[in-house]
Amino acid sequence: MSKIRLIALSLLAVFAVAVAMAGEKPKIGFLVKQPEEPWFQVEWKFADKAGEDLGFEAIKIGTPDGEKVLSAIDNIAANGAKGFVICTPDVRLGPGIMARARSHDLKVVTVDDRFIRADGSYMEEVPYVGMSATNIGRQMGEALMDEMKRRDWPIDEVRFMVITYEELDTTRERTDGAIAKAIEMGLPEDQVIKAPIIGMMEIPTSINAANVVLTRYPDVKYWLIGGSNDNSVLGAVRALEGKNHPVENAIAVGINGTDCIPELEKPNPTSFYGSILGLAGVEGYKTAEMAYKWAYLGEEPPLDTRTVGRLITRENFRQVLKEEGMD
Ligand code: FCA
C-alpha cells in the first residue's frame, strides 16, 4: 500500500471515530407523571436548556403509570442514556424503579415527588429536588388571610375549603402548612373544611371534591380556597361558579403558578386570586444537570435540595414571570 494511501486511510479512520463520537451525545431521561400539566412542561423546557448549555440530550417521556415508567427506563437505557430524572406517578414505586435503574446501571435523580419505601419512610439515599412544601403552603395560607383581612370579611361568616391530596407527602405538607398559618393568623380551627381529592390531582377530580363540601355547606357566605396545587384550586373555583357563588365572595390561591396563567389572563377576574409560584424552571434545569454530571462526570448531587415560592396575582404575574425567566 502506498504511503499516501495509508495516510489517507488513517485520516479517514480518525474522521470516522470523530463522527461517531460526535453522534454519541450524552443522554439522560426526564420522566414525568403528568406531561399535560404546565408545571412539568416548564421542567422539560428547562431540562432542554440545560442540555443545550452543557452538551447533552434530554429524552422526555410522559409516564402516567408504573408500567410506563419501567418501559421508559428500558427504553432510555437502550438509547444509550446513563441516567434519568423522574417525577414518579406513585411514590411507592420507588424501590421497583431503583431496582430497574440499577439493572441498567443508570443514575437516578427524583424531582417533586419523593420515593418512599413499603413502610412509608423516605428513600433518602436517592437525590431529591422539590418544593419547600410546608413553607410554600404557609405562604398560601398567609396570602388568603391577608386578602380576607383587606376585604374586611366578618370572620365568623368565613370558611376555609382546602382541597387536599394527603397520599403524597409534598402535597400534604403544603395543605397542612396553609391550615396552620391561617389558624395562626386568626381563623378558628373549626372553620377549616378539608375536601380530599379521589384519584389523580386534576381539575375534574377537584371539582368533585369541592362539590361534596359545597353540597354539605350550602349557606357559607365567604369562602377561602386553598389546595395542593393550581389544578386542585382551579377545580374548586369552577365548582363555586357552578353553584353561582358570587365571584367577589371567594378568594382562591393555588400553588405552582404555572398552571393558572390562562386564569390570571382572563379579562374578567374570577375568584382565583393568585398562586404561589414555584421554581419549575430551576428544578428542571438543576435536576437534568445533576443527572448528567453524575452519570457522565462522576459528580454526585446533594441528596436533598429545596426550592422556594413567590406570590403571583393578576397585578404582578407578568413582571414576576419575567424576573424568574419563565415568561
Ligand atoms: C407535585 C404536583 C405538581 C407540582 C409538583 C411540584 O408533583 O403534582 O402539580 O406541584 O408537585
Per the structure block, which three cell numbers stand in for 75? 427504553
Residues 6+ positions from 325 with CB-CB distance below 8 Å? 281
CB contact at 8 A, 51 and 291: no
Task: Report CA(275)–ligand 1 centroid distance (Å).
Answer: 13
- d(CA 23, CA 18) in angstroms, rounded, equals 9
Instruction: Give the 3-state secondary structure of 78-112.
Output: HCCCCEEEEECCCHHHHHHHHHHHHHCCCEEEEEC
pLDDT digits (tens, 9 = 90+) for 268-305: 999 999 999 999 999 999 999 999 999 999 999 999 99
What does the pLDDT read at residue 18? 47
- d(CA 86, CA 109) in angstroms, rounded, equals 7
| 3-class DSSP state of 244 | coil
Q: Which amino acid is at 46?
A: F
Per the structure block, which three cell numbers stand in for 138? 404557609
Percentage of residues of the chain with pLDDT beyond 90: 91
Q: Which atom of ligand 1 is nearest to the CA of 113?
A: 7
Task: Report CA(66)–ligand 1 centroid distance (Å).
Answer: 18
Backbone phi, then psi, for 287, in 5-degree steps? -65, -40
Mutate to test the pocket of ligand 1, among 256, 258, 306 (most ligand atoms within 8 A of CB): 256
Average pLDDT, the chain: 94
Per the structure block, which three cell numbers stand in for 184? 395562626
What does the pLDDT read at residue 326? 87
- Report the pLDDT averaged over residues 96-112: 98
- Report the pLDDT averaged over residues 190-212: 97
Q: Evaluate the CA torsion angle 32, 38, 43, 47 in order and state its sign.
A: positive
- Report the pLDDT averaged over residues 17-46: 86
pLDDT digits (tens, 9 = 90+) for 178-197: 999 999 999 999 999 999 99
Q: Which amino acid is at 215?
A: T
Residues 6+ positions from 15 with CB-CB distance below 8 Å? none
Task: Report CA(270)–ligand 1 centroid distance (Å).
Answer: 23
Q: Give pTM, 2 decimals.
A: 0.92
What does the pLDDT read at residue 8? 54
Query: Alpha-carbon dihedral of residues 194, 242, 136, 191, nearest 10 degrees?
Result: -40
CB contact at 8 A, 28 and 291: yes
User: Does the Cβ of 40 fall within 6 Å of ligand 1?
Assistant: no
Query: How confident is residue 23, by pLDDT bands cut at 50, 70 and 90?
Result: low
- pLDDT at residue 12 above 60? no
What does the pLDDT read at residue 24? 83
pLDDT digits (tens, 9 = 90+) for 219-267: 999 999 999 999 999 999 999 999 999 999 999 999 999 999 999 999 9
User: Does the Cβ of 175 fall within 6 Å of ligand 1?
Assistant: no
Task: Report CA(52)–ligand 1 centroid distance (Å).
Answer: 25
Residue 172 burial (CB < 10 Å; 0-12/13-18/19+)?
A: middle
Per the structure block, which three cell numbers stand in for 130? 422539590
Cα–Cα–Cα angle for 266, 268, 271, nearest 5°? 90
What does the pLDDT read at residue 5? 57
Residue of minimum CA distance from atom 6 in ligand 1: 112
- pLDDT at residue 3 above 60? no
Residue of minimum CA distance from atom 1 in ligand 1: 112
Residues found in the chain: 327
pLDDT digits (tens, 9 = 90+) for 41-81: 999 999 999 999 999 999 999 999 999 999 999 999 999 99
Phi-psi map region of 212: left, alpha, beta (phi>0 left; psi -120 to 50 alpha): alpha
Provide, for the chain, the percentages of residues in helix, strand and coil under a 3-state DSSP scheme, each rounded to the nearest 5. Answer: 50, 20, 30
- Report the pLDDT averaged over residues 111-140: 98
User: Does the Cβ of 131 fall within 6 Å of ligand 1?
Assistant: yes
